């Protein structure tokens, strides 16, 4: 670990079925899970090449992403190549790409966090939160770090 990008990388590695066998019964992975019902995928949910777990409610599009417990992705929202921490909420039609969203952070409707790699050196994974609220329609660029309690 150590840098934001390596945290993101390590999470993305979980999506690779060859790199590490999470399902090996001889290597049980022990961690405390909160008690939540199984995750729910809605009528319009689209989840592809991603990891989702208990308590999540997915009504939007999730691609190449890793979701922690109790994450909510609303209808029309897109979560792409991102890591969402427990309790994160991505509002209607919001876009989260190449980002790490902290615990209980709320990305309001229509906001856009992060951007795809553009080949420049300035590019990086965007990070938000925990406990941050990104206001409706806000634009958070690649490599931005939004941490202080409050709103953008």
Partner 1 sequence: MRRYHGIIFAYHARPELRELTSARTAASLPFCGRYRLIDFPLSSLRNAGILNVGVIMQRDYQSLLDHIGSGKAWDMSRKNGGLRMLPPFGLPEYHNGNYNGTIEALNAVSTYVRGMEEEWIVLMMGSLCANIDLQAVIRQHEKSGADATAVCADHTPMGIHHRYILGEDGFVKKIALYREGESEGYPSLECYIMRRSMLVEMMDRCRAENLYLFHRDAMNLFLRDGGKMEIYIHRGYADVIKTVEQYYRASMDMLKAENRRQMFPAGRPVRTKEHEEVSTYYGEHAVARNSLIADNCIIEGEVENCILFSGVRIEAGAKLHDCIIMRNSIVGKGVELEYVIADKNVSFAPGVKLTGNPKLPTVVPKGTEI
Residues near partner 1 (CB under 8 A) are 15, 17, 22-23, 28-33, 35-54, 57, 62, 66-67
* CB nearer to partner 1: pick between 28 and 150: 28
3-state secondary structure of 143: coil
How far apart are alpha carbons 49 and 28 in whole angstroms?
A: 23
Considering the complex, what minimum distance in angstroms separates the CB of residue 26 from partner 1? 14
Q: Are 75 and 44 within 8 A, CB to CB?
A: yes
* CB nearer to partner 1: pick between 48 and 116: 48
Which single residue is written with the structure tokens 């309001």?
108
Considering the complex, what minimum distance in angstroms separates the CB of residue 24 from partner 1? 10
Measured between its terminal Cα atoms, the distance across the chain in Å is 27
Considering the complex, what minimum distance in angstroms separates the CB of residue 61 from partner 1? 12
Please give the distance of CA 150 from its chain centroid, rounded to a whole number.
20
Considering the complex, what minimum distance in angstroms separates the CB of residue 76 from partner 1? 15
Considering the complex, what minimum distance in angstroms separates the CB of residue 64 from partner 1? 10
Angle at 24 between CA 20 and CA 27, to 5 degrees: 90
Cα–Cα distance list, 59 to 27, 118, 134 (Å): 33, 29, 20
């Amino acid at each position: 670990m150590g840098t934001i990008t390596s945290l993101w990388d390590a999470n993305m590695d979980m999506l690779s079925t060859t790199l590490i066998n999470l399902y090996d019964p001889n290597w049980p992975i022990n961690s405390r899970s909160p008690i939540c019902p199984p995750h729910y995928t809605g009528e319009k949910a689209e989840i592809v090449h991603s990891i989702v777990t208990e308590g999540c409610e997915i009504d939007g599009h999730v691609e190449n992403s890793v979701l922690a417990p109790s994450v909510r992705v609303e209808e029309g929202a897109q979560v792409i190549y991102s890591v969402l921490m427990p309790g994160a909420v991505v509002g209607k039609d919001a876009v989260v790409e190449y980002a790490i969203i902290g615990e209980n952070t709320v990305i309001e409707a229509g906001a856009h966090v992060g951007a795809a790699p553009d080949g420049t050196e300035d590019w990086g994974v965007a990070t938000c939160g925990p406990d941050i609220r990104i206001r409706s329609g806000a634009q958070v660029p690649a490599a931005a770090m939004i941490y202080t309690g409050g709103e953008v």
